[in-house]
């Protein structure tokens, strides 16, 4: 809580290309709830380097992601949209919190195990302490709520554990963040393997719809989407491919799954896939048009980056100075 306003923090990594799943599952949801909170939406580029990145590509993707936040409908005058790496408090607080986090807690983190398996040649300390940096991201702004999916709840739990431990020693320093799961975003699955989430890192380009995909590409990918041989458009777990397409159509049109099933009763998969593709094209077009417009205005985006970094720095320093004082660091002479 800052003043009388509850604080919301969230962020995305500046790696890969954002998918329809990222948009319908998170970004669109941020836009829908942003007016209810004092918000901090970060491009979490510090997290990105736990895996080796091409520097020029990372820089480019970070700017693209920040621009997409705005193109999706987040007003940078009302929402603090910034690069994590531009606010030193994230790294400074993470170091302090590392000293209040136990190895056993980090050993239990499932994401570390998953990433270590994928990047066996680069199991670095940053990968291991990634959850502590995430805790610092959240606690730095005294966030009351953090929009999370079920797969991210473990990170919020360790954040709460660290905050509780610190507060028990030094008093009421950190706000205890709660998961925001009220208006849950749609969970969009892979078009080629509906048992797993649509992912930026999927090696099969037909598995994901990317936000910058042109209409022909979108339609083609939906035509190739995995379905089944039942020839019925029903919303049930036994038909994961069709269920996923219904979820996508629902999220794109605002209709309920039941309404979608009624709309396509007796119709074939080909017709349904085409309708889903067209609905998605309609969702993406305004976002793509706005992104193209914003990308041409370098001065505007540069201004957003500068102004929002200063705003994030201001709020982060309030917490960081308090924490530094609590642990006994000498006060700065001004």
Catalytic residue among 28, 197, 221, 273: 197
318 assigned to active site: no
State the Cα–Cα distance between residues 10 and 27, nearest whole angstrom: 10
Catalytic residue among 28, 115, 243, 273: 115
State the Cα–Cα distance between residues 58 and 323, nearest whole angstrom: 31
Catalytic residue among 6, 59, 187, 200: 200
SS3 per-residue string spanning the chain: CECCECEEEEEECCCCCCEHHHHHHHHHHHHHHHHHCEEEEEECHHHHCCCCCCHHHHHHHHHHHHHHHHHCCCCCCCCEEEEHHHCCHHHHHHHHHHCCCCHHHHHCCHHHHHHHHHCCCCCCHHHHHHHHHHHHHHHCCCCCEEECCHHHHHHHHHHHHHHHHHHHHHCCCCCCCEEECCCCCCCCECCCCCCCECCCCCCCHHHCCECCCCHHHHHHHHHCCCCCCCCCCCCCCCCHHHHHHHHHHHHHHCCCHHHHHHHCCCCCHHHHHHHHHHHHHHHHHHHHHHHHHHHHCHHHHHHHHHHHHHHHHHHHHHHHHHHHHHHCCCCCCC
298 assigned to active site: no
Residues annotated catalytic, as ranges? 115, 197, 200
């Amino acid at each position: 809580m800052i003043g009388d306003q509850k604080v919301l923090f969230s962020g995305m990594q500046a790696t890969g290309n954002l998918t329809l799943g990222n948009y319908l599952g998170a970004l669109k949801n941020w836009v829908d709830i942003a007016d209810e909170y004092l918000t901090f939406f970060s491009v979490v580029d510090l997290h990105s380097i736990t895996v080796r990145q091409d520097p020029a590509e990372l820089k480019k993707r970070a700017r693209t992601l920040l621009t997409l936040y705005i193109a999706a409908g987040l007003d940078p005058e009302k929402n603090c949209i910034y690069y994590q790496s531009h606010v030193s408090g994230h790294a400074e607080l993470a170091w302090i919190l590392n000293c209040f986090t136990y190895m056993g807690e980090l050993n239990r983190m499932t994401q570390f195990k998953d990433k270590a398996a994928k990047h066996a040649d680069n199991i670095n300390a940053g990968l291991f302490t990634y959850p502590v940096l995430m805790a610092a991201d959240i606690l730095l702004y005294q966030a009351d709520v953090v929009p999370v999916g079920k797969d991210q709840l473990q990170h919020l739990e360790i954040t709460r554990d660290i905050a509780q431990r610190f507060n028990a020693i030094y008093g009421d320093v950190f706000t205890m963040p709660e998961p925001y799961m009220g208006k849950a975003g749609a969970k969009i699955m892979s078009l080629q393997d509906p048992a797993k989430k649509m992912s930026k890192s999927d090696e099969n380009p037909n598995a994901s719809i990317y936000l910058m995909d042109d209409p022909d590409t979108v339609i083609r990918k939906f035509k190739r989407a995995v379905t089944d041989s039942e020839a019925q458009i029903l919303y049930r777990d036994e038909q994961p491919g069709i269920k996923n397409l219904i979820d996508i159509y629902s999220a794109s049109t605002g209709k309920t799954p039941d309404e979608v099933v009624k709309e396509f009763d007796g119709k074939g998969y080909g017709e349904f896939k085409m309708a889903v593709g067209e609905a998605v094209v309609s969702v993406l077009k305004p976002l793509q048009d706005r992104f193209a417009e914003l990308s041409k205005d370098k001065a505007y985006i540069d201004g957003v980056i500068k102004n929002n970094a200063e705003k994030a720095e201001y709020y982060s320093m309030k917490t960081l100075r308090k924490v530094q004082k609590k642990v006994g660091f000498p006060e700065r002479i001004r």
